[in-house]
């Protein structure tokens, strides 16, 4: 009797996509550094402008927190992406092994000891399935991490808008604050587009593997 092997398409080259995602998000790190630097500069400006610029304190706090979060989340994405890559590669290898063993079994037809292939083949099938489940979990975590970065970025964009309004209320002395707010907005947009391209990459592979 032949073991039926799942014909479902495998994780394919997720192992390449995942490391590409990690590499793309690595570029977010200097942007986070820039946000952090912006926060420090704004803090210095706030101290000098004293009372009139007190509305900027929560904004600088937010920027600092944002920079830290982005750095931490990028690290998490890196770790999970590496797991996705490893698991995907193991899954591809296990599936290839299973297919080669299944091919051998098929070619053997009614060989005297054909039944002895059943056990290793069933083991390989289980291995493929469990790797596939694990891969799915890692991909879910990866998507959640990207969502989390996105949420932070959306908050950053609205903070930047608030900051620009605050800066305008300072009149002529608000120029430098406005520049900071524009900078924050630009950084946030940069991160957003990087996350978007990661997501596109991930989605392309997810539909390919379903």
Partner 1 sequence: MKSTVLSENKVSGARWLVFGRDPEKPEKIIDTNQYLIATRNQAMLLDPGGIEIFPAMLSAVIHHTPLENITHIFASHQDPDIISSLGLWDRTLPQAKLHCPWLWEGFVRHFGCDNVEFVPIPDEGSTMKLDGLTLQFVPAHYLHSSANFHVYDPESKILMSGDIGAALEKGDVPMFVEDFEAHTAHMRYFHQRWMPSNKAKNAWIKRVRALEIDIMAPQHGRLFQGDDVVRFLDWLEALDVGIALDDEAQAEAA
What is d(CA 172, CA 170) in angstroms, rounded to the nearest whole number? 7
Contacts of partner 1 in 126-145 (CB under 8 A): 127
Neighbours of 48 (CB within 10 A): 10
Contacts of partner 1 in 84-123 (CB under 8 A): 93-94, 97, 100-101, 103-109, 111-117, 119-120, 123
Total residues at interface with partner 1 (CB under 8 A): 24
Q: Is 124 in the site for partner 1 (CB under 8 A)?
A: yes
First to last CA, the chain: 28
In this complex, which beta carbon is closest to partner 1, that of residue 64 or of residue 97?
Answer: 97
Q: Is 188 in the site for partner 1 (CB under 8 A)?
A: no
In this complex, which beta carbon is closest to partner 1, that of residue 6 or of residue 193?
Answer: 6
What is d(CA 89, CA 84) in angstroms, rounded to the nearest whole number? 8
In this complex, which beta carbon is closest to partner 1, that of residue 25 or of residue 101?
Answer: 101
What is d(CA 204, CA 18) in angstroms, rounded to the nearest whole number? 12
C-alpha pair distances (Å), 91 with each of 17, 37, 69, 159: 15, 43, 32, 43
In this complex, which beta carbon is closest to partner 1, that of residue 119 or of residue 161?
Answer: 119
Residues that bind partner 1 (CB under 8 A): 93-94, 97, 100-101, 103-109, 111-117, 119-120, 123-124, 127
């Amino acid at each position: 009797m032949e073991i039926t092997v799942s014909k479902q398409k495998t994780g394919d080259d997720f192992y390449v996509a995942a490391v590409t995602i990690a590499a793309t998000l690595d570029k977010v790190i200097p942007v986070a550094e820039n946000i952090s630097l912006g926060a420090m500069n704004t803090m210095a400006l706030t101290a000098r402008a004293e009372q009139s610029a007190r509305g900027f304190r929560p904004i600088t706090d937010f920027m600092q927190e944002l920079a830290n979060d982005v750095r931490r989340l990028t690290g998490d994405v890196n770790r999970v992406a590496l797991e996705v890559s490893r698991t995907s590669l193991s899954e591809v290898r296990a599936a290839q092994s299973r297919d080669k063993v299944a091919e051998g079994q098929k070619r053997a037809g009614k060989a005297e000891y054909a039944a002895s292939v059943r056990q290793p083949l069933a083991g390989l099938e289980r291995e493929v399935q469990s790797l596939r489940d694990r891969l799915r979990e890692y991909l879910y975590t990866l998507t959640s991490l990207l969502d989390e970065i996105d949420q932070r970025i959306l908050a950053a964009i609205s903070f930047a808008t608030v900051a620009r309004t605050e800066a305008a209320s300072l009149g002529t002395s608000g120029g430098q604050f406005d520049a900071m707010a524009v900078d924050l907005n630009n950084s946030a947009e940069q991160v957003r587009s990087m996350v978007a391209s990661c997501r596109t990459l991930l989605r392309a592979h997810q539909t390919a593997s379903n």
